[in-house]
Amino acid sequence: MKTCPSCRHELPEISRYCTQCGQRLHADPIEAPPPAPPRVEPQPDQLNLQLLYGMVAALVLAFLFPPWETPLPQDPEFLGLHFILSPPTPDAIVSRLLLTIELVTIAIAGLYGSFLFRQKP
């Protein structure tokens, strides 16, 4: 017969735990595993804000200086980048296609550049 070390209750030899108090029998002291180090979440990289501000400035300039072309009845001809309020000729129109290409290119280049040159924490 075994005797419980905490309550002195007599138990059969095959018992692992005391039926009276629940104490574990014949056990080496269980050492608690060492606490795991605190988990550090990696900080996400930040986009390069200076490049994003540059992209916004370039988009504003693209709106202020749009690409002009000849009106519809004439043969298509690029008339240059002039200020929005001063077209190169009185009947010139803003080329929507060229302006769209210009804006998309500036936006993609700005976002890609800000990602490529992102700041590491």
Q: Are residues 57 and 24 in the same domain?
A: no
Q: Are residues 53 and 86 in the same domain?
A: yes
Q: Are residues 75 and 111 in the same domain?
A: yes
Contact predicate 52/110, CB 8 Å: yes
34 domain residue, yes or no: no
Rounded distance between C-alpha atoms, residue 74 and residue 61, angstroms:
28
Average pLDDT over residues 96-121: 90
- Start-to-end CA distance of the chain, whole Å, equals 65
Q: Are residues 14 and 56 in the same domain?
A: no
Q: Are residues 18 and 63 in the same domain?
A: no
Contact predicate 71/91, CB 8 Å: yes
Q: pLDDT tier at 98 (50, 70, 90 boundaries)?
A: very high
35 domain residue, yes or no: no
Q: Are residues 60 and 24 in the same domain?
A: no
Q: Are residues 24 and 59 in the same domain?
A: no
Q: Are residues 19 and 68 in the same domain?
A: no
What pLDDT digit, counting tens, does each position of 25-60 carry? Answer: 765 555 657 788 888 776 677 888 899 999 999 999
* pLDDT recorded at residue 78: 92
Residue 36 exposed, middle or buried by CB count within 10 Å (0-12, 13-18, 19+) = exposed
pTM over 0.75: no
Number of domains comprising the chain:
2
* pLDDT recorded at residue 65: 95
Q: pLDDT tier at 76 (50, 70, 90 boundaries)?
A: confident
Q: Are residues 66 and 97 in the same domain?
A: yes
The pLDDT > 70 percentage for the chain reads 92
* pLDDT recorded at residue 10: 85
Q: Which residues span the domain enclosing 7?
A: 1-29
